[in-house]
Amino acid sequence: MNFIDSELKKRRKYEKTKRFSSINWPIKKQEIESIFREFNHLFSDSKMNFDIKTTLNSDFSNKFYVGYDVIQIGFPFRWTGNQVVTEGDEQVTMDHKSEHGPTLVISTSKLGIINVILMPAKNDDKKIEVESLLLFTTNNPNDLTREKIEKFLHQFVIFQRVDSLLELSSFNEEIYIKWLYFFDARKRQKAQSILFNIANHWAAVLLSALAAWLIAKNT
């Protein structure tokens, strides 16, 4: 079985890739955190401080994550100004509506896969829930260059204006975010399948027209 040696080499290569990712991720994570904090400082003119988190674990949760790691930056909690006042027999309750996010998440695990994801804002007044958006995936932490991180941050603020109910976005920005969703790796295969079916349909139409033309020409 000649394929065995080749298969074993591929598997050893993958194990080596996972070890490389695990060893180099902590260094890259520090670099990313530094860029996030620089971004937060430069954005401070808007009187907005972003939420930067470097772990999935929390003192307020009974869950403890092992092997998983994350660095993320998100728009802070903000009141929308809307509220629902309910008058009861003994007391009045006020439900103040709020928005939190979106969030740019860079996550990894012992599998060595690094994903860059935009998580939509949570807004009490949202009528339609928006899905998360996978921007990038890799097995190599070194692929996350400063240039790429800055690009992700730019996409992050555009996504926030499109997704948030507290901001305004342009038509071009909305089209750009739709374009990013179209090329989301998780949906790419489905989109390619749809395009393939459309192409097959029109190919069949053209072949039928060509056949009809040839028959008409030779009769």
Note the pLDDT tens digit of each residue in 107-120: 988 888 899 999 99
* CA gap 26, 60 in Å, rounded: 24
Note the pLDDT tens digit of each residue in 175-208: 988 888 888 877 665 555 655 565 565 555 565 5
Note the pLDDT tens digit of each residue in 2-38: 777 778 778 888 788 888 788 888 999 999 999 999 9
pLDDT of residue 184: 83
pLDDT more than 70, % of the chain: 79
Residue pair 37/52 in contact (Cβ under 8 Å)? The answer is: yes
Q: What's the mean pLDDT in 83-100?
A: 78
- What band does 122 get if pLDDT is binned at 50, 70 and 90? confident
pLDDT of residue 219: 47
Residue pair 89/111 in contact (Cβ under 8 Å)? The answer is: no
Assigned token pair, 1:
């079985």
pTM of the model: 0.76
Please give the residue that has the higher pLDDT: either 100 or 118: 118
* Closest by Cα among 105, 59, 97, 52 to 78: 97
Burial of 16 (C-beta count, 10 Å sphere; 0-12/13-18/19+): exposed
- What band does 128 get if pLDDT is binned at 50, 70 and 90? confident
pLDDT more than 90, % of the chain: 25
Task: Determine phi and psi for 59, rounding to 5 degrees.
Answer: -70, -15
* Closest by Cα among 9, 56, 49 to 29: 56
